[in-house]
Amino acid sequence: MRLVLASNNRKKLGELQALLVPAGVELMAQGMLGVAEADEPFHTFVENALAKARHAARQVGGAAIADDSGLCVDALGGAPGVYSAHFAELATTEVDREDHRALQDAANNALLLDRLNGVTDRRARFISTLVAVRSADDPEPLVAVGRWFGEILHAPVGSGGFGYDPLMFIPALGRAVAELDAPTKNAHSHRAIAAAQMLTLMREAWHRG
């Protein structure tokens, strides 16, 4: 089964593709089909994920899946939340998409450390909300949510992953997310938890896998 992924993030595409293999799902990034990114006007992950999935499904005339994910920090009242990807303001630069994403990640991490300067409660969690639809008007979207609990470090470590991975320490693993190899991350992450739920939903509702 082919699903359009309502994202152009190549790293997210790779992670989700590996996680959804058991259901026989093949993901294709929406940009490969000329689909522009959807607006994300809502204040919750589930509403934004549903909007993105329906937008992609409508543009391609088929099934789609969207992941709206981010970091929620207790001491910041849940921020950056749905604004995680663009937490810090970044001037538009003449670089390609992936270079721009790397610059944005660095700016986001720097702002997060600044906001938590002097704060002792550094508990946080990564959230991944997956929504899959068979069509743009599917009345029964599949919704799965994964939460990965950790603590925000005082400085970035590791070179793997993306986003806030260098700052997110997972006590249960004794390492920051950016220090984990891909198999370990894919076995424990918020996206892995959500994907496992999604696989169950696909088997039950879509008879996949």
Give the burial string for 77-86 (b: 16+ CB within 10 Å, else e). Answer: eebbbbebbe
Q: What is the largest CA-CA distance in the chain?
A: 51
Residue 108 is which amino acid?
A: N
Residue 172: both structure tokens together? 């249960």
The residues annotated as belonging to the active site are 68
Q: Which residue has tokens 């509403």?
A: 47
CA 36 to chain centre: 18
Alpha carbons 130 and 127: distance in angstroms, whole number: 10
CA atoms within 13 A on the CB side of 134: 9
Residue 160 DSSP label: S
| 160 within 8 A of 145, measured Cβ to Cβ | no
